[in-house]
Structure 1
């Protein structure tokens, strides 16, 4: 809390790692030292305090894994002829 101690290195940030194809909803807060795995979706307003694995949907305060992303989540967009 002391400004002089912070100036001399007592307070530092740990790196945040965000994987490929991650979607963060609006107003997501990611705390220091957290890793979010590839292809993961973080719901709006979530506070990510701990690392989240790949290929999941995670939401909440604190953020927690809701479920895995599976083939059931496919919408057919890639086979619709629009791509």
Structure 2
């Protein structure tokens, strides 16, 4: 589980860098990675950190829904 968390943490870092360069292309992927990170943290009993990660993912998805609800509303749900 710790190795899985480390891998997803690295994915979040990479996607954050990509978002800085092209947010329009990579924000959805960052939200997905944050959701995965939340799941891994919850699996390790780190609930507060898991909640923070998923809250950030939801915030990103809400922003995406405002821009293109037809494309991103299912992911927010």
Shorter-normalised TM range: under 0.3
| TM-score normalised by length of structure 2 | 0.22
Q: Which has the higher helix share?
A: 2
TM-score of the aligned structures, taking structure 1 as reference length: 0.21
Q: Whose Rg is larger?
A: 1
Greater strand proportion = 1
